[in-house]
Amino acid sequence: MIYGIFGFWRILSAFCLVALFLRVAGQASNQSITADEAFNYNNFLRSSLGNVFTAHYDANNHVLQTALCWLSIHVFGVTELSLRIPSLVGSILYFYTVFQLASIRFNRSFLHLVATLALASNPYLLDFFTVARGYGLALAFLALAVLAAVRSVSCDEANHKLLFYAGLWSALSVASNLAFLFPAGGLQTALLLSLLRCSGQQRLGAVVLSFIDSAGGPFLLWSFLILVIPLLTARPDAFYFGAQRWHETLGSLVSGSFFHNLEIPLLSRWPASFWHLCAMITTTFAPVLSGLILVAALLLVFRPSSSGHSMPTLTGLTFSVTVALLWLAHVLAHVKLPIMRTGVYFLFLFPLALLSFLPCEKDSPAGHLGWAFLPIIVFLVLLYVPQANAKATVDWRYDAATKKFAETIEMIRRYTASPNIHVGGSWVFEPTLNFYRVTNHYDAWQPIVRHKSTDAADFYVLTNTDRDVVKTLNLRVLLDDPVSKSILAVPSQMVVGRGK
Amino acid sequence: MSVVLWAATGALFTGAVSLVLGLCILRQLAIRLTRVEQCVFGFLIGNAALSLVVFLFTAAYLAYAPVFVSFGLLTIVFTFIRRRSSPKVACSICVLPKLWAVLLCFRYAKLYLCRALGPEYSPDGTTYHLALVARYLREHHFPLITTNFYASFPEALEMLFLFAFSIGRHSAAASTHLLFLFATAAALVGFGLRFNVAKAGTAAAVLFFMCPIVGFDASVSYVDVAEACACFAVFYALQIWWQDNNDRVLVVAGIMAGFAGAIKYPGFIAIPFALGVVLWEVRKHRGRWKRCAPLVLLPAIFLVAPWLIKNAIEVGNPVSPFANRFFSNPFVHVSFEEDYRRQLAHWNDVTWPEVPLEVTVRGARLQGVLGPLFVLSPLALLGIRLPICRQVLLTGLVFGLPYPGNLGTRFLIPVLPFLTLAMSITLSYWRSALPAVLLFNNLVCEPSALEKYVSPYAMRLERQRWDETLRERAEPEILATRIEAYSMARFIDQNLPENTRIFDLGDGMPAAYMRQARDGYFEGALNERMRVNIWSGLFKDYQPTWRHTFNFKLRRLLSIRVRQTARSNAIWTIAELRLFHNGQELIPQPDWQLNARPFPWDVALAFDRNPVTSWRAWERARPGMFVEARFHRPSEVDRVSIDGPRDQEDMRLVVEGEDVTGNLVTLSSEAMAEDIPLPYGWKRMIGKQLKLNGYTHFVISKSGGGYNDIRDHPAEWGMTLAAERGNQILCELQ
């Protein structure tokens, strides 16, 4: 009965999404705090809500996400999970949207499952629903905006309510993470072009005005209202994180997606082949496919209006305009290109654009292209699914064991009854160790400051790249975490249990 | 507490008398208005009328508190009696603004009230707006003031301040200005209701009300919000005229235009605007302009003319301190006017690309902010789809025309009602935009939020200080912490006789709290001359230590003229001009006719044998300037010497003479330059000059050059140190 109403593949998709949510929630509750989350907490969340908006701007402050985190920790108390509740809510929104988009495009077919997995199971993308950063929430809002836009352009007449939601969700996406200004801007532009394409007898000015009133205006206004005060203190050097070449952008996204934990059947047995494949995707396949998406979108734009083509046109244009905006900003304003997490929206837009071309009319050029995209989509899914057992995030892998290290340090301190300890080591652990020092009330710890990793300390928390310090200072390794590759060490002359 | 009550009484009484007067005039005009409009226009027309009445009382030496109060009470009683028998004007639409708008404005209203009723310490308010008002009340008339150009500004609102001040002193005046903020908000609401943009009108009222610079300005004794109110009322009245086709409304528009011009010079633009709109609208009805144009023009002229006439009589320039090239006068220098205008047009060297962020979110260099929301003001342009919004935008543009003349944020206030209305109309088309925008503005415009992102040097309101407002500490104590120069002003007020005349070389004093006359160093021609004199004791460039001597063949002349032929930024200066015959100096005779172009009024100073005094052109040097001496009888001259300061290097001088046949001949263009020493006791001579010009005391502050020199050696300047308060010293001239 249920199969009859919902369809087998849709139910399976739903189960997959529930499973993905459970996996994300589990990781969010168990995973150690990461450096960027801890930095955010230390700098923006410890005082009033107003401070989120008026503190000196830092690119780490993803304003809407930070504000929601503030609310969350003031309701539920400060824990890793409470900080991550907004991201988890974002994951629910995202999975819901993915399901809806797949349903719009593929109804009850097998491709529904393929689309769901292609859009939702990328392990690198899932990382951002497990940490209290704005990327996950921004992605969820962007997906909602795309959904609203797809629905609005699919209607015979412009649906102002849906257009408004497309603008509103886009604005919230930008407010959650400023890096999403480009895809949100791309979506708005694509939406306008799609509306113009479907305008029929309406005057150009009237369509543009209608778009501004319904979507563009609210997008601009809500983004402005949330971000204007924080951005007043922004300086160009705050936006230091980025790439100089597209190759770096693609490489960072490809390796993040395929090399999450290198447990892909077959490929993991031949690492050289795997890396060759990554390099091929970065240098050849992805650029070629991007070009094809643009060509297919343009083909549809200049064809006579058809409601069946609205989604591929919109998604193809969104992807293409986003790339174009990034390129223009890079060339004209020297804005850095996205890299790693700042380009995470491509992991949604790119497969979505590919997927949306699949059910195009078989005899159309875009339809031919669409079917050529199917093997690629299936290939992506085959690469994503085996990596679902992630134990840490890619971007903050070094922090995977920081919580364990902090607890161990405190346990030893209590055991030795040291009244005052100095934790040192690699500087990247400064925010996370301070986070645990503050939230767990490790009052005997001196505030952790950014020193050289070789400076004298009672405990050393070192990254994989700072392992040489163990030899240099003749340290004794207490813990060596296999996931993060980070280590906890103490000076070799330290006698555990001395205080007792 | 009683101070607050008196202040509130003064402001409310002024408002009530105005309203009653205005309603009376409106009834005579029998115009069909809504209740909101009746209140707004009644209040504004009444203010214009009351202002004129106070002007007439003051001009007639009747500026006494009892006179004002009696007039007010009689007006109220008379109107009340007549009201019973007068026919009621029909009221078409009346809807109260929504509760949420009132709620959003409530805490701002409380904040403004707290500031307005508190001690008045705004810079311009205490320096001249209320200083002049206090002086008029003290002397019960308009004294002849030629050494303070601020006294030449139109003072229609100051007349209302005077009315309120006579009852509740300084805070009453500030609170009177605050009434105009409420009136503007009400006008925006009323406009929205009438022209079917009710939501936008209400939102515009709230946006205008919460705007930081508006709130600040309205809560002190400035005049900008009143000007904005009058300007918007002109537009509003013209719209009603256009809609109802009732020519009597033009009288209201004319009164408003005149009132705007009488409040502040930039408001003058309301008169040509109103006339232009009327002529444009009636262009297709042949002959109708003859009936309509006077209806709008005559009331406007009636309100503006008193101020122009007063200036023409007192300082020889109806629009003083501007247009001094056209209306040459000895009271304001052209060089000052040019510098003043340049300074206003380039506040703190702000460039045009910097203006948008300065006026919206930074505020340090243009003195205040409109609020971050106004970064989105270009959105107002989207409203052009509606005819009413097109008119609003166009009118806003017209009232924004004077803005490049003064880039201060305050000078955008007259444009704000139009801008907020146009923005609100645009936003009213966007789902849930208006509530979001108003809530946002409510959060980011309050003082505690402004502290976070606006420059600390921007003009804005601080958090509520009810302790100050209720005078929990003595007012002088509060003012001493708020105004740097207040302790000196209080010392002067308490210890010096009322006829003391002070020359102020400092950063300005709160003259509103002093009974004695005080002349700032830049506020008039004499003041500038005194300043240059003092500077000649401090800076070498100002000292007349450079002599140019022109030798030529002995000629018998009817007159002799020194002509300047170069173009330069320097100001041509002659400390002494001497004529010689065979090595003997010709002593200037009383029957010599002395002349100069430009600025002939001081030319005698070049022939007075006193090197401290000098003739200056008070304009940048240009060819054609001259100084001339015409002899009673032909005199033989073979040498001319000119003493002046060393900054005259760019000048090119030619000595010409008129021979006995009446021909003008060039005598010499080659000068021999030499340095000459300063006379002994130079600084004492400067002090003596101040005294000779009627000053009894002299104030200088630390920031002014020469502070240390004068404080440490007052005797050298012919002064004695009378007091030192804060960063200022007061010296008595011997």
Q: Could you identify the residue written with the tokens 């200056």? A: B616
Q: Is the pLDDT of residue A360 over 90?
A: no
The candidate with the shortest Cα–Cα distance to B636, out of B615, B665, B659, B614, is B659
| Among the partner residues B375, B430, B436, nearest to A228 by beta-carbon distance | B375
What is the rounded distance in angstroms from the CA atom of residue B472 to the CA atom of residue A34? 53
Predicted confidence (pLDDT) per residue in A228-237, tens digit:
999 998 888 8
pLDDT of residue A307: 55
Give B249-254 contacts, CB < 8 A, sequence gap 24+. Answer: B249/B29, B249/B31, B250/B278, B250/B292, B250/B295, B250/B296, B251/B29, B251/B295, B251/B296, B251/B299, B252/B26, B252/B29, B252/B31, B252/B41, B252/B45, B253/B278, B253/B296, B254/B295, B254/B296, B254/B297, B254/B298, B254/B299, B254/B300
**Cα–Cα–Cα angle for A246, A248, A253, nearest 5°?**
100
* Chain A CB contacts of B389 below 8 Å: none
pLDDT of residue A259: 80
Which residue type is seen at A203? R
* Chain A CB contacts of B424 below 8 Å: none
Residue B684, helix vs strand vs coil: helix
pLDDT of residue A366: 61
* Chain B CB contacts of A222 below 8 Å: 436
A277 contact partners, CB below 8 Å, separation of at least 6:
A258, A267
Q: Do A218 and B444 touch (CB under 8 A)?
A: no
In this structure, the dihedral spanned by the alpha carbons of residues B295, B298, B299 and B304, taken in order and rounded to 10 degrees, is 150
Both structure tokens of B37? 């409009």
Q: Are B659 and B561 in contact (CB under 8 A)?
A: no
Q: In whole numbers, what is the pLDDT of chain A averaged over residues?
A: 89
* Chain B CB contacts of A172 below 8 Å: none
* Chain A CB contacts of B360 below 8 Å: none
Once rounded to an integer, what is the mean pLDDT over residues B302-313?
97
pLDDT of residue A309: 67
pLDDT of residue B647: 85
Q: Is the pLDDT of residue B93 over 70?
A: no
State which residue of chain B sits closest to A206, comparing Cα positions: B385
State which residue of chain B sits closest to A165, comparing Cα positions: B431
pLDDT of residue A385: 80
CB burial of B233-268 (b: ≥16 within 10 Å; e: otherwise) equals bbbbbbbbbeeeeeeebbbbbbbbbbbbbbbbbbbb
The candidate with the shortest Cα–Cα distance to A434, out of A445, A444, A425, is A445
Both structure tokens of B372? 């971050």
pLDDT of residue A357: 84
- pLDDT tier at A197 (50, 70, 90 boundaries)? confident
pLDDT of residue A383: 81
Predicted confidence (pLDDT) per residue in B463-513, tens digit:
989 999 999 999 999 999 999 999 999 999 999 999 999 999 988 899 999
B359 Cα to chain A: minimum distance (Å):
13
- pLDDT tier at A498 (50, 70, 90 boundaries)? very low
Predicted confidence (pLDDT) per residue in B553-589, tens digit:
999 999 999 999 999 999 999 999 999 998 899 999 9
Both structure tokens of A195? 């509306």
Once rounded to an integer, what is the mean pLDDT over residues A288-299?
89
| Among the partner residues B376, B426, B453, nearest to A232 by beta-carbon distance | B453
Chain A within 8 Å of B449 (Cβ-Cβ)?
A: yes
The candidate with the shortest Cα–Cα distance to A220, out of A192, A267, A188, A247, is A188
Question: What percent of chain A has a predicted confidence (pLDDT) above 70?
Answer: 92
pLDDT of residue A388: 76
Predicted confidence (pLDDT) per residue in B32-67, tens digit:
899 899 999 999 999 999 999 999 999 999 999 999
List C-alpha distances in Å: B262 to A42, B55, B60, B160, B416. Answer: 57, 11, 19, 12, 20
Chain A positions contacting chain B at CB under 8 Å are 50, 54, 160-161, 164, 209, 212-214, 217-218, 220-222, 224-225, 228-229, 232-233
Once rounded to an integer, what is the mean pLDDT over residues B100-106?
85
* Chain B CB contacts of A232 below 8 Å: 361, 372, 453
Task: Name the DSSP class of B600.
Answer: G
Q: In whole numbers, what is the pLDDT of chain B averaged over residues?
A: 93
For B659, phi and psi rounded to 5 degrees? -75, 180
Both structure tokens of B545? 């230590």
- pLDDT tier at B202 (50, 70, 90 boundaries)? very high
Chain A within 8 Å of B369 (Cβ-Cβ)?
A: no
Q: Is the pLDDT of residue B92 over 80?
A: no
* Chain A CB contacts of B433 below 8 Å: 217-218, 221
Once rounded to an integer, what is the mean pLDDT over residues B625-633?
94
B371 Cα to chain A: minimum distance (Å):
11
pLDDT of residue A325: 96
- Counting Cβ atoms within 10 Å, is residue B158 exposed (0-12), middle (13-18) or buried (19+)? buried
Predicted confidence (pLDDT) per residue in B656-682, tens digit:
999 989 889 999 999 999 999 999 999
Angle between helices B433-444 and B99-117 (to 10 degrees): 20
pLDDT of residue B74: 95
- pLDDT tier at A499 (50, 70, 90 boundaries)? very low
Please state whether the peptide bond connecting residue B598 to the residue before it is cis, i.e. omega within 30 degrees of 0.
yes
List C-alpha distances in Å: A394 to A62, A88, A131, B355. Answer: 19, 18, 11, 45
Both structure tokens of B651? 């000048």
Once rounded to an integer, what is the mean pLDDT over residues B632-646?
92
Once rounded to an integer, what is the mean pLDDT over residues A325-349?
95
For A461, phi and psi rounded to 5 degrees? -110, 115
Q: Are B203 and B101 in contact (CB under 8 A)?
A: yes
Q: Is the pLDDT of residue B308 over 80?
A: yes
Q: Is the pLDDT of residue B174 over 80?
A: yes
| Among the partner residues B376, B379, B453, nearest to A54 by beta-carbon distance | B453
Chain A within 8 Å of B385 (Cβ-Cβ)?
A: yes
What is the rounded distance in angstroms from the CA atom of residue B297 to the CA atom of residue A214? 45
Once rounded to an integer, what is the mean pLDDT over residues A23-45?
94
* Chain B CB contacts of A229 below 8 Å: 372, 444, 452-453
Predicted confidence (pLDDT) per residue in A143-189, tens digit:
999 999 999 988 667 788 999 999 999 999 999 999 999 999 999 99
Least confident of A94-103, A157-166, B417-426: A157-166
Angle between helices A181-197 and A160-176 (to 10 degrees): 160
What is the rounded distance in angstroms from the CA atom of residue A177 to the CA atom of residue A196? 29
A272: number of Cβ within 10 Å: 7
Which of B373, B385, B430, B439 has the most A C-beta neighbours within 10 Å, making it the best mutation to test the interface with A? B430
- Counting Cβ atoms within 10 Å, is residue B723 exposed (0-12), middle (13-18) or buried (19+)? middle
Predicted confidence (pLDDT) per residue in A210-245, tens digit:
999 999 999 999 999 999 999 998 888 888 889 999
The candidate with the shortest Cα–Cα distance to A384, out of A142, A115, A194, is A115
Q: Where are the domains of chain A?
A: 2-387, 397-491
Once rounded to an integer, what is the mean pLDDT over residues B163-170?
96
List C-alpha distances in Å: A225 to A159, A220, B172. Answer: 25, 9, 38
Task: Name the DSSP class of B367.
Answer: T
Once rounded to an integer, what is the mean pLDDT over residues A492-496?
65
Assembly ipTM:
0.88
State which residue of chain A sits closest to B441, comparing Cα positions: A225
Residue A488, helix vs strand vs coil: strand
Which of B431, B437, B440, B451 has the most A C-beta neighbours within 10 Å, making it the best mutation to test the interface with A? B431
The candidate with the shortest Cα–Cα distance to A130, out of A268, A28, A258, is A28
pLDDT of residue A99: 96
Q: Do B452 and A50 touch (CB under 8 A)?
A: yes
- pLDDT tier at A305 (50, 70, 90 boundaries)? low
- Between the two ends of chain A, the Cα-to-Cα distance in Å is 69
Q: Do A217 and B430 touch (CB under 8 A)?
A: yes
A137 contact partners, CB below 8 Å, separation of at least 6:
A62, A64, A65, A68, A86, A87, A89, A90, A176, A177
pLDDT of residue B734: 85
Both structure tokens of B640? 């001319």
Q: Are A188 and A180 in contact (CB under 8 A)?
A: no
Q: Is the pLDDT of residue B95 over 70?
A: no
pLDDT of residue A326: 96
Q: Are B324 and B386 in contact (CB under 8 A)?
A: no
Q: Is the pLDDT of residue B356 over 70?
A: yes
Once rounded to an integer, what is the mean pLDDT over residues A16-32?
94
Once rounded to an integer, what is the mean pLDDT over residues B410-420?
97
Which residue type is seen at A25? A
pLDDT of residue B97: 54
pLDDT of residue B86: 47
Q: Do B372 and A228 touch (CB under 8 A)?
A: yes
| Among the partner residues B382, B437, B453, nearest to A229 by beta-carbon distance | B453
Both structure tokens of B233? 């009322």
**Strand B653-659 to strand B615-620: parallel, antiparallel, or no bridges (unpaired)?**
unpaired
Question: What percent of chain B has a predicted confidence (pLDDT) above 70?
Answer: 98
Task: Name the DSSP class of B682.
Answer: H
B424 Cα to chain A: minimum distance (Å):
13
